[in-house]
C-alpha cells in the first residue's frame, strides 16, 4: 500500500511537471493523448469490464464535440453551459445506442453500434447545422477566471485534472459492486442473471458510462482544437481507439490508458505512412487477441501466476476447511407449496423436452429429480428458473405466478441455482463470485457512485465482511483470492453452492451437484445439503448418483422422455416398475439400477 501511494505521488508530480520539458507541438500531442485516454477508459468500462461490444464510442465523442460547437457558435451559449448540455446529449445518445443491447446478443451489437457510428458521421457530413464537410470553426475558448485556457500548456492542467478524476471514478466502479456485477455479466450473463444481476439494466449502464466518457472527451476536444470536422470522428479513429483498448488490455482501465499513450505515439511516428500504420495496428490487434487476450496490462499478472505455479504457490498450499453447519430453524408447518409447476410443456422445434410435467414442492423439503439422460430434468430447471419460457403451463413460486419471469427477478424473489456444467465467473476470484451473489442492490441505485460515494464504499466493506462469513462457513477462506478455475473440481462445486447460498434463497435448485465428486466429497455434499434444508431453505436436486438421492431426498420425482412417470418416497419410487423399466431402457444409466432396490430395502 505504501509503495502504491509513493508511486502515485511520483506519477502525480511527474505529470504536473511534464509541460516544462515540452515544446508547443509536444504539449499538443500530450493534450490529444489525454483526450484519447478518457475515451479509452470509457470504452474499457463498456467493452472490457461490461463485455458490451461498442463501436459507437467515436460517435459519443463526436456528439460531445459537435454539441459543444453548435451550442457555443450557433446558439451563442457559454462554453461550460454548452459543455454540460453536450454531455447530456451524449448520454441521450448512449441510451439510444444501449437500447439494442437490451435484446441483441453481444456479437451482433458490434454491427448495430458500427451502424450507428456510421450514421453519425454521415449526418454531420451532410447536415447544415453541423457545417457539412467543413465542420464548425471558431469555437470559443473555455473560460476560467484568471486562467488563460487558450494556452495549450494551461489547457493541459485542465485536461489532467479531468482525466485523473474520470480515471479514478472508473477504477472506483471497477473495484466495487457495480464493476463486479459488470465483470460477472461479461464472464457469464446467464449465471449473473441467475444470481440477481439485472443484465439488461447493466448493459445499458455500460453504454451510459461509455457515453459520459465520450461526451467529456468531446467537450475537451472542442475546447482544445476549437474546430470540429467529420474526419476526427471517423471509423478509422474508432478502430484506432479499439486497438488502444485491446492492445493495452481491455480488462484493465490503466491498461486502456497505456494503450492510448503507446498507440497515439506510434501513430505520430508513422504519420507519413498511414497505410502501413493501419496494417500494423490491425496485425498487432490480431496477435494480441490470439496470444494475449488480456493485452499488455494482463501480462504482469500472467507472469506472476506462472511463477507462482512453478514455485507451487498459494493455490496448492490452500486447504479446504470443514463445512460449518447452518443454525437449524423450526420447519414452518402447513404452508402452501413453495413451488408449483403446472402442466409444463417445453418444445424445441418439435422435440418435446417436457410434456405436461406437474410438480409441487413443499417448503422445507429436499426433492430429488431423477431420470435417464435426456429425460428433461435440466430443461425443467431452466423453465423453473426463468431461462426458458415454457411452451405451455405455468410456474408458481411462493404463491405468485412466475412463468417466464426473467432469471434475475426470480433470483430476487428468492430462487437460486447451480448449473450442471459449473458456471463460476472465471475472471473473478472465489470471493468475488460470492460477492456478486451477496449484492442485492438494484443497479439503478448506481447513481450513488456520483451522489454518495462514501455510502458505496461502506456498503462494499459490509459485503466483504459477509463474503468472509460465507467463505468461512464453507471452509473456502484460503481460496478467497484465487480464480475458481485454478481449483480442483470438487472445490469448484462447493464454491458454486456457497455462491448460490450467498444469494439468500428460499428455494435452491442443485443441478447434478455430485457430478465429478469422489466418495468423501459426496458425503460432505450430503451433509451440506441437509444443513441448508435445516436452515429453512427448500432444496430441489437433480442427481444421477442414486445412493445420494435415495438417502438425501424426502420425495423423488422421476422423469422419462419429458414426462413424470413416478413420484413418491424413495422406497416407493425405487420399486416402481415404470421407473425400473425406464432405467433399463437407458443403457447409459443402467449402472445405477442395482442401487435402486438396494437402497429401498
Ligand X SMILES: Nc1ncnc2c1ncn2[C@@H]1O[C@H](COP(=O)(O)OP(=O)(O)OP(=O)(O)O)[C@@H](O)[C@H]1O
Give residues in contact with ligand X (CB under 6 A).
348, 351, 353, 371, 373-379, 420
Nearest to 221 by CA among 360, 33, 398: 33
Q: Which is nearer to ligand X, 431 or 511 (CB)?
A: 511
Q: How far is the CB of 561 from ligand X (least distance, A)?
A: 9
Residue 467 backbone dihedrals phi, psi, to 5 degrees: -65, -40
Q: How far is the CB of 356 from ligand X (least distance, A)?
A: 15
Q: How far is the CB of 564 from ligand X (least distance, A)?
A: 12
C-alpha grid cell, residue 61: 465523442
The backbone region for 138, taken as left when phi is positive above 0, alpha when psi lies in -120 to 50, beta otherwise, is left
Residue 464 and residue 412: Cα distance in Å, rounded? Answer: 20
- The residue to which cell 501513430 is assigned: 267
Q: How far is the CB of 379 from ligand X (least distance, A)?
A: 3
Q: How far is the CB of 413 from ligand X (least distance, A)?
A: 23
Residue 376 backbone dihedrals phi, psi, to 5 degrees: 110, 10
Q: Are strands 351-361 and 392-397 parallel, antiparallel or unpaired?
A: unpaired
Q: How far is the CB of 376 from ligand X (least distance, A)?
A: 4
Q: How far is the CB of 566 from ligand X (least distance, A)?
A: 15
Q: How far is the CB of 531 from ligand X (least distance, A)?
A: 26
Residue 374 and residue 199: Cα distance in Å, rounded? Answer: 29
CA 259, 263, 269 angle in degrees (round to 5)?
155
Q: Which is nearer to ligand X, 284 or 580 (CB)?
A: 580
Angle of helix 295-311 relative to helix 253-269, nearest 10 degrees? 120
Q: How far is the CB of 453 from ligand X (least distance, A)?
A: 43
Q: How far is the CB of 417 from ligand X (least distance, A)?
A: 13
Q: Which is nearer to ligand X, 97 or 341 (CB)?
A: 341
Q: How far is the CB of 522 from ligand X (least distance, A)?
A: 17
Residue 264 and residue 248: Cα distance in Å, rounded? Answer: 12
Q: Which is nearer to ligand X, 378 or 545 (CB)?
A: 378
Q: Which is nearer to ligand X, 178 or 341 (CB)?
A: 341
Sheet holding 415-417, edge to edge: 415-417, 507-511, 538-542, 366-370, 555-560, 563-568
Q: Which is nearer to ligand X, 167 or 395 (CB)?
A: 395
Residue 600, C-beta contacts closer than 8 angstroms, at least 6 positions apart: 550, 570, 571, 574, 575
Residue 321 and residue 272: Cα distance in Å, rounded? Answer: 63
Residue 516, C-beta contacts closer than 8 angstroms, at least 6 positions apart: 489, 490, 493
If you ran DSSP here, which 8-state letter would residue 583 be given? H
Q: Which is nearer to ligand X, 112 or 353 (CB)?
A: 353
Q: Which is nearer to ligand X, 73 or 378 (CB)?
A: 378
Q: Which is nearer to ligand X, 237 or 378 (CB)?
A: 378
Angle of helix 295-311 relative to helix 235-248, nearest 10 degrees? 20
Q: Which is nearer to ligand X, 353 or 507 (CB)?
A: 353
Q: Which is nearer to ligand X, 89 or 564 (CB)?
A: 564
If you ran DSSP here, which 8-state letter would residue 325 be given? P
Residue 357 and residue 377: Cα distance in Å, rounded? Answer: 11
Q: Which long-range contacts (CB under 8 A, 24 or more apart) does 111-116 make?
A: 113/53, 113/54, 113/55, 113/56, 114/55, 114/56, 114/235, 114/238, 116/56, 116/59
- The residue to which cell 459488470 is assigned: 182
Q: Which is nearer to ligand X, 379 or 385 (CB)?
A: 379
Q: Which is nearer to ligand X, 377 or 477 (CB)?
A: 377
Given CA atoms 19, 25, 30, 32 in this order, what sign does their dihedral have? positive
Q: How many other C-beta atoms lie within 10 A of the C-beta of residue 513?
A: 27
The backbone region for 240, taken as left when phi is positive above 0, alpha when psi lies in -120 to 50, beta otherwise, is alpha
The backbone region for 219, taken as left when phi is positive above 0, alpha when psi lies in -120 to 50, beta otherwise, is alpha
Q: Which is nearer to ligand X, 233 or 381 (CB)?
A: 381
Q: Which is nearer to ligand X, 70 or 582 (CB)?
A: 582
Q: How far is the CB of 403 from ligand X (least distance, A)?
A: 18
Q: How far is the CB of 546 from ligand X (least distance, A)?
A: 13
CB 150 within 8 A of CB 13: no
SS3 at position 250: coil
Q: How far is the CB of 553 from ligand X (least distance, A)?
A: 16
Residue 382 and residue 495: Cα distance in Å, rounded? Answer: 21
Q: How far is the CB of 378 from ligand X (least distance, A)?
A: 3
Residue 307, C-beta contacts closer than 8 angstroms, at least 6 positions apart: 313
Amino acid at each position: 500500500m505504501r509503495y502504491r501511494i509513493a508511486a502515485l505521488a511520483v506519477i502525480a508530480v511527474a505529470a504536473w511537471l511534464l509541460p516544462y520539458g515540452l515544446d508547443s507541438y509536444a504539449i499538443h500531442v500530450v493534450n490529444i493523448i489525454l483526450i484519447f485516454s478518457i475515451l479509452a477508459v470509457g470504452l474499457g468500462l463498456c467493452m472490457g469490464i461490461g463485455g458490451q461490444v461498442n463501436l459507437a464510442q467515436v460517435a459519443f465523442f463526436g456528439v460531445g464535440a459537435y454539441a459543444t460547437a453548435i451550442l457555443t457558435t450557433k446558439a451563442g451559449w457559454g462554453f461550460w453551459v454548452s459543455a454540460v448540455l453536450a454531455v447530456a446529449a451524449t448520454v441521450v445518445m448512449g441510451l439510444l445506442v444501449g437500447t439494442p443491447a437490451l435484446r441483441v446478443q453481444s456479437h451482433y451489437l458490434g454491427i448495430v453500434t458500427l451502424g450507428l457510428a456510421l450514421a453519425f458521421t454521415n449526418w454531420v457530413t451532410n447536415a447544415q447545422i453541423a457545417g457539412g464537410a467543413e465542420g464548425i470553426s471558431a469555437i470559443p475558448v473555455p473560460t476560467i477566471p484568471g486562467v488563460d485556457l487558450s494556452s495549450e500548456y494551461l489547457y493541459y492542467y485542465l485536461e489532467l485534472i479531468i482525466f485523473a478524476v474520470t480515471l479514478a471514478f472508473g477504477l472506483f466502479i471497477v473495484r466495487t459492486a457495480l464493476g463486479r456485477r459488470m465483470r460477472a455479466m461479461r464472464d457469464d450473463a446467464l449465471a449473473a442473471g441467475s444470481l440477481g444481476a439485472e443484465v439488461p439494466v447493466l448493459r445499458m449502464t455500460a453504454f451510459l458510462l461509455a457515453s459520459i466518457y465520450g461526451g467529456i472527451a468531446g467537450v475537451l476536444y472542442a475546447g482544445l482544437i476549437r474546430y470540429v470536422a467529420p474526419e476526427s470522428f471517423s471509423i478509422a479513429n474508432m478502430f484506432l481507439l479499439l486497438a488502444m483498448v485491446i492492445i493495452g488490455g481491455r480488462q484493465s482501465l490503466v491498461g486502456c490508458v497505456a494503450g492510448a499513450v503507446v498507440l497515439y505515439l506510434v501513430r505520430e511516428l508513422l504519420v507519413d505512412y498511414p497505410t502501413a500504420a493501419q496494417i500494423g495496428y490491425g496485425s498487432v490487434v490480431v496477435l494480441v487477441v490470439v496470444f494475449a487476450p488480456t493485452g499488455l496490462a494482463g501480462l504482469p499478472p500472467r507472469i506472476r501466476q506462472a511463477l507462482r505455479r512453478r514455485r507451487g504457490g498459494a493455490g496448492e498450499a490452500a486447504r479446504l476447511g470443514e463445512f460449518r453447519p447452518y443454525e437449524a430453524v423450526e420447519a414452518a408447518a402447513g404452508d402452501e407449496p413453495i413451488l408449483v409447476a403446472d402442466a409444463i410443456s417445453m418444445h424445441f422445434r418439435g422435440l418435446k423436452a417436457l410434456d405436461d410435467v406437474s410438480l409441487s414442492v413443499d417448503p422445507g423439503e429436499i426433492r430429488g429429480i431423477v431420470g435417464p439422460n435426456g429425460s428433461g430434468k435440466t430443461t425443467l430447471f431452466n423453465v423453473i428458473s426463468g431461462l426458458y419460457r415454457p411452451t405451455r403451463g405455468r410456474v408458481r413460486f411462493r404463491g405468485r405466478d412466475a412463468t417466464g419471469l426473467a432469471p434475475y427477478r426470480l433470483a430476487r424473489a428468492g430462487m437460486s441455482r447451480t448449473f450442471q456444467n459449473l458456471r463460476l465467473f472465471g475472471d473473478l476470484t472465489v470471493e468475488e463470485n460470492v460477492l456478486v451473489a451477496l449484492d442485492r442492490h438494484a443497479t439503478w441505485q448506481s447513481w450513488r457512485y456520483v451522489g454518495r460515494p462514501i455510502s458505496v464504499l461502506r456498503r462494499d466493506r459490509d459485503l466483504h465482511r459477509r463474503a468472509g462469513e460465507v467463505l468461512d462457513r464453507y471452509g473456502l477462506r484460503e481460496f478467497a483470492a484465487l480464480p475458481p478455475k485454478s481449483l480442483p473440481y470438487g472445490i469448484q462445486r462447493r464454491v458454486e453452492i456457497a455462491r448460490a447460498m450467498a444469494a439468500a434463497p428460499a428455494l435452491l435448485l442443485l443441478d447434478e451437484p455430485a457430478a465429478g465428486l469422489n466418495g468423501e466429497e459426496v458425503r460432505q455434499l450430503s451433509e451440506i445439503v441437509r444443513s441448508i434444508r435445516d436452515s429453512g431453505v427448500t432444496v430441489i436436486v437433480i442427481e444421477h448418483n442414486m445412493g445420494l438421492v435415495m438417502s438425501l431426498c424426502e420425495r423423488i420425482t422421476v422423469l422419462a422422455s419429458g414426462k413424470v412417470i413416478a413420484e413418491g418416497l424413495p422406497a416407493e419410487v425405487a420399486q416402481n416398475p415404470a421407473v425400473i423399466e425406464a432405467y433399463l431402457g437407458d443403457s447409459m444409466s443402467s449402472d445405477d439400477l442395482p442401487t435402486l432396490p438396494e437402497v429401498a430395502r
